[in-house]
Amino acid sequence: MHPLVIQGGMGIGVSGWRLAGAVGRAGGLGVVSGVALDTMLARRLQDGDQDGQLRQALSQFPVQEVATRVLSRYFVSGGRVADQPYRPVARLTLQPSPDRQRLAVLAAFVEVHLARQAAGGAPVGINFMEKVQLAMPAAAYGAMLAGVDVILVGAGIPARLPWLLDTLSRHMRVEFPIDVAGSGQARHTLAFDPVALLGPRVAALSRPLFLAIVSSTTLATFLARDEKTRPDGFVVEGAVAGGHNAPPRGPLQLNERGEPVYGPRDAAGPAQFVALGLPFWLAGGYSQPDRVVAARSAGANGVQVGTPFALSRESGLSPSLRQQLLDHLREGQLDVRTDVRASPTGFPFKVARLGGTLSDPSVYELRRRICDLSYLRTPYMKRDLTIAYRCPAEPVDAYVRKGGPPSETVGRVCLCNALTAAVGLGQQRPDRLTESPILTLGADLDGAHALLRRYPEGWGAGDVIAYLTGS
């Protein structure tokens, strides 16, 4: 299964099941984002699941008691009362409760089930961030229960994924290694036991393909060297891509806009990937037909594209924000900046500048820091050898109390809350304040401009595929 166009996974919720389904129907590989699906399922149920799609997918989950429990906890018929905060979902830890793990399995199942249904039989993928390690085993298993075809993992070194997928496809218990800062050589793991959580299953699951998202041949060569770590292929992502980017090599240099400067050493050459002998797709600025042809001529199987799909009708972005982005694009005012401070992960992150979002310093200054979703917080070892969690976007005093350097907190954006807000699921705070969104797009907008000329009223995912493939 080697599509010409992969629609890149876009979290949180930008590439949801509707977008992935539409891409699949048009002949591309549609990929749902696998980040924070549990929170999104819980919130959508509290918003009343207006079209009934979530409840339909829940009714297909193989262990109905689990689906019923989640429904009775979160579903609000007709939707929650305006201004009422969403009920929280327990945060990820190294020792999650069985119910917390079941919710994560169920949420990934629902998203992939709906995407597969919408794709009408075409393959579907799911995207995870390696940095969100604590979520990985349960979400991967849920996606596999729904029959996901491809798992794509970026933002880290996904060396354990082949083993994880092999083991989970046989419903076996895993002890998934987790990085714990300050714990030296000690090994820490997250236990995930499908049978203990959901009961025995008879048939093995089909093992999805695994594509590693990388930015350097060094990482790709390391992963490809051993069959235990070898992926089934690579997505090779350059520095103009939307979302997170790999940092430049060597000492960080900033240009006059405060963006990191990338040099020739940062561009992974297609020739080196050809030499590795595994299929690969090029990503970041490949959203025009001649770029697709160029990628093919360079030996790639095709391209992975994000930005034009994020702006398409089926995108999960809230319609008013998407419209503002299209208006700015039309007026030549859309500015995307690589921010080295925004993401708590420490990776550069692309931010589209739009008034009223956290890219606006006055909006940023107004937000009271709170860390309640916590997907990006990381475990660290305390002096008393117990494990705690911290995030540089949490309240500064809390982070510093946990031994984090104050300088790390400067300019950080709570991406968990802000990206959730960008898809219309922002948390309601006291005094009628709703969390403000942040938007990410790729820096290369040429494909989006060309699509806007063709489709002045906006476009659908199928139009993007037709444009890219010249069909």
Structure tokens at 215: 């930015």
C-alpha 74/C-alpha 425 separation (Å) is 14
C-alpha 444/C-alpha 311 separation (Å) is 13
- Compare residues 194 and 426 and give the one whose CB is closer to ligand FMN: 426
Instruction: Identify the residue among 22, 239, 241, 371 touching ligand FMN (CB under 6 A).
Output: 241
- Compare residues 174 and 241 and give the one whose CB is closer to ligand FMN: 241
- Contact between 138 and ligand FMN (CB under 6 A)? no
- Contact between 161 and ligand FMN (CB under 6 A)? no
Chain position carrying tokens 């000690």: 186
- Contact between 379 and ligand FMN (CB under 6 A)? no
- Compare residues 287 and 378 and give the one whose CB is closer to ligand FMN: 287
- Compare residues 76 and 294 and give the one whose CB is closer to ligand FMN: 294
Chain position carrying tokens 């008691």: 65
Give min distance, CB of 282 to ligand FMN, in A: 9
Instruction: Identify the residue among 149, 339, 408, 444 touching ligand FMN (CB under 6 A).
Output: 444
- Contact between 284 and ligand FMN (CB under 6 A)? yes
Residue 248 CB partners (closer than 8 Å, separation 6+):
239, 260, 261, 262, 263, 266
- Compare residues 110 and 419 and give the one whose CB is closer to ligand FMN: 419
Of 374, 366, 418, nearest in space to 398 by CA: 374
Give min distance, CB of 416 to ligand FMN, in A: 12
Residue 397 CB partners (closer than 8 Å, separation 6+):
none
By rule CB under 6 A, what string of x and - marks binding of each residue 205-234 to ligand FMN? --------x---------------------
- Contact between 285 and ligand FMN (CB under 6 A)? yes
Give min distance, CB of 3 to ligand FMN, in A: 14
The size of the chain, in residues, is 471
Give min distance, CB of 245 to ligand FMN, in A: 9
Number of residues that bind ligand FMN (CB under 6 A): 29
By rule CB under 6 A, what string of x and - marks binding of each residue 290-329 to ligand FMN? --------------xxxx--x-------------------
Of 343, 339, 399, nearest in space to 371 by CA: 399
| Number of Cβ within a 10 Å radius of residue 70 | 23
Instruction: Identify the residue among 39, 127, 409, 436 touching ligand FMN (CB under 6 A).
Output: 127
Instruction: Identify the residue among 39, 324, 343, 440 touching ligand FMN (CB under 6 A).
Output: 440
Give min distance, CB of 73 to ligand FMN, in A: 27
- Compare residues 5 and 70 and give the one whose CB is closer to ligand FMN: 5
- Compare residues 137 and 154 and give the one whose CB is closer to ligand FMN: 154
Give min distance, CB of 85 to ligand FMN, in A: 25
Instruction: Identify the residue among 28, 158, 208, 442 touching ligand FMN (CB under 6 A).
Output: 442
By rule CB under 6 A, what string of x and - marks binding of each residue 5-44 to ligand FMN? ---xxxx--x------------------x-x---------
- Compare residues 92 and 180 and give the one whose CB is closer to ligand FMN: 92
**Binding site residues, ligand FMN, CB under 6 A:** 8-11, 14, 33, 35, 127, 129, 154, 213, 237, 240-243, 283-285, 287, 304-307, 310, 440-442, 444
